[in-house]
Structure 1
């Protein structure tokens, strides 16, 4: 494939990621704030979104394996995915639950701050020493999130406003994501021929099992009530289905981008997408952010942009050949 073809393919992947996840973000915010039916009922069982998306992505990955991949005995066994799937079930559920207490832009901004717990754990637990530009990036991100949290926007009604609880749930989501990513990397290193579709299958298989037990095995799970709500309000059911399909399509484009262009290009695209999600959310909901909050947003994505540039520079830094010893 020539340079022009690669540019067009990257643009296609970026458009797919943007359209899938920005649409999903709008649907997620709508489901957390919208009043359905003449009685103005809210969909209160937001963790059900995580269960529904697991099931849809499980079916999607199974179909993709059957259609696009060859049979191979070198795949990681499915049982290995139970622990990352557990944290991957808890983390997103906390992130979705946070929308009861904080706005969608606030949730996206905090979830963009993954480098903070990573660097904190690296310094305190493993004694990792980072360079000054990396600390500056972290300072910008932390300062941006703090600025955003301190100033209020003209946001529409949030179901149960509780900023400390909402931000705490988002940081739990980040911590769980860190464990999930590290365990997935460990599995990929042990079984290098494992395809992205098999990873997606294993993660969503266990995720569906864990989410099912959480939603339906006890009275407080809310699974039965969520299904009953969808029967009474078909509009909510269609929005949940579309939310799940957006997640499956988004994962499809992310895997394609990783396989063709690497993780750095994927990080650049997804980071830009998060910024666009905040912008679209602000315009779509008619709830503009305050100037102070926009300054916080710019600080966060300024820090993330510098981090991406540092990664790009390290990747493209020429290797210095060591002198031979005669």
Structure 2
């Protein structure tokens, strides 16, 4: 009897051990949790500051800042400086030289500056939740550009999720107020047009980056350096061309708080980018896509708390449908992801390594194939892992 009780006790102990082991294996590793906290924290800070700078008044006179190109210039200069420092620390001085023709870096810069400017300007006309939700529609133009430029094809799940996202964004726009608080309802149409332009420009940026990485032996930091230098130059030319340089300096002299907000905005963008790069390299693009989808939903919640957007129940339902479909797609891709063949781990500076890519839209590849946009602009939109313009855009 004692022997049988001992055997029973041993069996129970083994079962308990299996249950505990299963629980541990179902929990994300601490390093992944740390990456998620870093990405979500930095990009939510970016989102709050983006909304604060573009929509909230400064000073007792209730002046509002309107020069979005100034913010783009700051972000690009910060990213270029950090990229140059990293290249110097890595000791690979050859990466300080342009690997591709300068005009190809400039092509990425033109589309990225246009996308980021549209993103910032949209906040003057529509609410931050509207802007964030419409960013999820990025997967639609990415799929179009991917087919046109790279000849890619996509699966049924991808088309279904793209349709749900498009319908969800449409429902969100039609079932409640989406205009910025100081804007007329009619101005929201212009805001949506700006977001449509953002999606088109940003999708081209990500797709052309992929072509650039594939065609030339360049590290992610080389592309960051030259694309951001070109973007900063274009932003300066845009500011001078608009004649807004003096008015911006005058605004800053009256409201020096803007400089602090802009500096923290740039810091959070660059910090988020490197957290994103580390996450994709260490845990893969599917984990990153899931983190980004959660971050977007949390950003909408935080924006409603801080800035009182008063979304309707129908708008909340549309929001849940969009983010739910993206999370489902991430889960589906993870479940159906084929086992990778054993191969040497890619170098951090490899042209299409995990620190510069996101998963293919159909989730069929064992590794990342579409580039995460390495140009900070604040979007950080994973679109379910299609292409992530990461802030870190």
TM-score, length-normalised on structure 2? 0.73
Alignment partner, residue 310 of structure 2: 288
Question: Is the partner of 1:37 in helix, strand or coil?
Answer: coil
Q: Which residue of 2 aligns with 1:174?
A: 199
Q: Give 1 or 2 for the bigger CA radius of gyration.
A: 2
1:196 deviates by 2.1
User: Which blocks of at least 5 consecutive residues in structure 1 are unaligned?
Assistant: 320-326
The 3 A distance-change label for structure 1 pair 67 and 99 is same
The structure whose RCO (Cα within 8 Å, separation 6+) is larger is 1
Q: Which moved more, 1:267-276 or 1:22-31?
A: 267-276
Q: CA deviation at 1:291?
A: 0.9
* Structure 2 unaligned regions, length at least 5: 1-24, 342-393
Instruction: Note closer, same or farther for the CA distance 1:63–1:159 as it changes in structure 2 (3 Å cut).
Output: farther
Superposition pairs for residues 13-32 of structure 1, below 5 Å?
A: 13-32=35-54
- Matched residue, 2:112: 88
TM-fit CA distance, 1:49:
1.1
Question: Do the aligned partners of 1:76 and 1:187 also contact (CA within 8 Å) in 2?
Answer: no
Select the residue among 204, 212, 215 that pairs with 1:187: 212
Specify which of 14, 21, 29 is matched with residue 7 of structure 1: 29
- 1:143–1:299 Cα contact (<8 Å) kept: no
Distance 1:129 1:52, change over 3 A: closer
Match of 1:65 in 2: 87
Superposed displacement of residue 155, structure 1: 7.7
The equivalent of 2:263 in structure 1 is: 241
Higher share in helix:
1
**Residues 34-183 of structure 1: pairs in structure 2 closer than 5 A:** 34-68=56-90, 70-72=92-94, 76-77=99-100, 79=102, 80-120=104-144, 130-153=154-177, 157-159=181-183, 162-183=187-208
TM-score normalised to structure 1 length: 0.87
Once the two structures are TM-superposed, the CA of residue 124 in structure 1 deviates from its matched residue by 8.4
- Answer yes or no: is the 8 Å Cα contact 2:179–2:188 preserved in 1: no
Q: Kindly indicate whether the alpha-carbon contact (under 8 Å) linking 1:16 and 1:250 is maintained by their aligned counterparts in 2.
A: yes
Which of 306, 313, 316 is the equivalent residue of 2:335?
A: 313
Q: Helix, strand or coil: the match of 1:112? A: helix
Q: Deviations over 1:234-292 (max 9, x none)?
A: 11221111111111111111111122222222222222211111111111213332111
